Amino acid sequence: LTIFSYYFLEWYSARQSAESLTTNEAKQYETSTPSKENETQNSNQTETETETTLQPEESVQIPASKVNHQLGDKVAYLIIPKIQKKYSVYWGADDKVLKKGVGMFVSDLTTTPSGNGHTVLSGHRDTVFTELGQLKENDQLIVEYENKTYTYKINKHWITDSEDRTVIVEKSEPTLTLTTCYPFDYIGDAPDRYIIESSLLSIR
């Protein structure tokens, strides 16, 4: 009973790091990014604003390993409008951190959203990322980090072996990748990993 209570508390704690959004709240996040039509109508203005925002950091990527956060600290929020969820994101992706909720991978190959490179967020399928399978190409992922909002568009998803580490690589363009174990309904240590890759649309 004691062991069961311990694991239940861990599971419950991780689940609490995910906040449900109302339909209106989710729409506010989604519609805050210009639509394709608006992007076309305001292309010159949008391009100018984007260049102004990104140009200073464009040639320099700052690895997450060089960023001064403490392991386990809450550093960001991940919002997924499609499934109406907002997740607390913690620094690191080891077992201890992932028991708290979603973790931001820290390495020489990955960056924070402001690092202009590859940001990787991981989470357990049975606590926080239970609904990732509902996401499709062109759905939006949003990260709030250090007083800025980064909006990404999903490009693709795939399934790979749980030991495959080729997902953790450098990217020349700002990229957000979500990873979790797969199958979602598997009991025990799942044999595969579910990957979602997205590209940066805007920064506010």
Determine the 3-state secondary structure of 6 from DSSP: helix
Pairing verdict, β 18-20 and 85-91: antiparallel
Q: CB within 8 A of 48, min separation 6: which ones? A: none
Token pair belonging to 119 = 């940001």
Instruction: Point out which residues pair with 203 in neighbouring strands.
Output: 150
Could you confirm whether 124 is annotated as catalytic? yes
**Category of 134 on φ-ψ map: left (φ > 0), alpha (ψ -120 to 50) or beta:** alpha
Closest CA to 156 of 170, 135, 172, 174: 135
* Annotation marks residue 69 as catalytic: no
Closest CA to 157 of 138, 184, 129: 138
Q: Which position among 69, 118, 157, 181 bears the catalytic label?
A: 181
Q: Which residues are catalytic?
A: 124, 181
